[in-house]
Structure 1
Amino acid sequence: MKDFEELTSIEMVEKFIQQHELVLLYVSRSECSVCHALLPKIRKLLESYPMVHLGCIDANVVEEVASRFLIFTVPTMLLLVERKEFIREDRFVRLERLEEQLQQIYNLYMQK
């Protein structure tokens, strides 16, 4: 399964985004059962995308993440390419659709 970095402050989140060109931010809450069930599936999916760095954020710990990224529900996933948002999925994530979008963006990115 894809490794991830636990981001515990908004400063860590910003630094993580600056350090990596391809970032998937996974925002959840500790009491969210959907969040806990979805994370292993996302980690498995990202095994095929070695250049994508996964950062996990507990919105209970990093409360500023909601205002910084306009997040209203969890789980929320944001794919950032060179610090720009390309994909946003939240609440009820369709993994097939997410994988299609991710594959397209990843392939285009790797061609440059």
Structure 2
Amino acid sequence: MEKLQTIQEVTAFINENHLTFLYVSQKNCSVCHALRPKLSELLKNYPAIKLHEVEADKVKEISAEYLVFSAPALLFFVDGKEYLRDGRFVQFKKLEAALEKVYSFEESLL
């Protein structure tokens, strides 16, 4: 999972890709480290969704720009607009159902 280093990189990533997933973590967050591989594995089923990570303790502007106040935070964007937000105690079945709904709709447009 590629890490974004600046708020400009975050904004560009979200605005330049159709389906984007932003994983906001912190360096000393055990929950963040536990969720990362599960999320990566889940998103293998959705190859059109681009996934990047940003460490909130390194890119402090993430809090103000995207209203992220705790980690981990999972943000899913469609055409630059936030579609889904989850955090801390992620229910992966619910997350997968939401992603499947958007993904199948997007595929039907092709």
**TM-score of the two chains, using structure 2 as the length reference:** 0.96
Does residue 85 (structure 1) correspond to residue 85 (structure 2)? The answer is: no
Q: Which residue of 1 aligns with 2:58?
A: 61
CA distance in 1, matches of 2:56, 2:7: 10
CA distance in 2, matches of 1:107, 1:88: 19
Unaligned runs of at least 5 residues, structure 1: none
CA distance in 1 between partners of 2:78 and 2:44 (Å):
18
Matching residue within 24, 27, 46 for 1:30: 27
Equivalenced residues, count: 109
Q: Match for 1:13 among 7, 10, 14? A: 10
Query: What is the root-mean-square deviation in Å for CA atoms of aligned residues?
Result: 0.7
Query: Does structure 1 residue 75 correspond to structure 2 residue 72?
Result: yes
CA drift of 1:48 comes to: 0.4
TM-score by length of 1: 0.94
Q: Deviations over 1:41-61 (max 9, x none)?
A: 000000000000001000001
How far apart are residue 111 of structure 1 and its match?
Answer: 1.4
Stretches of structure 2 that go unaligned for 5 or more consecutive residues are none
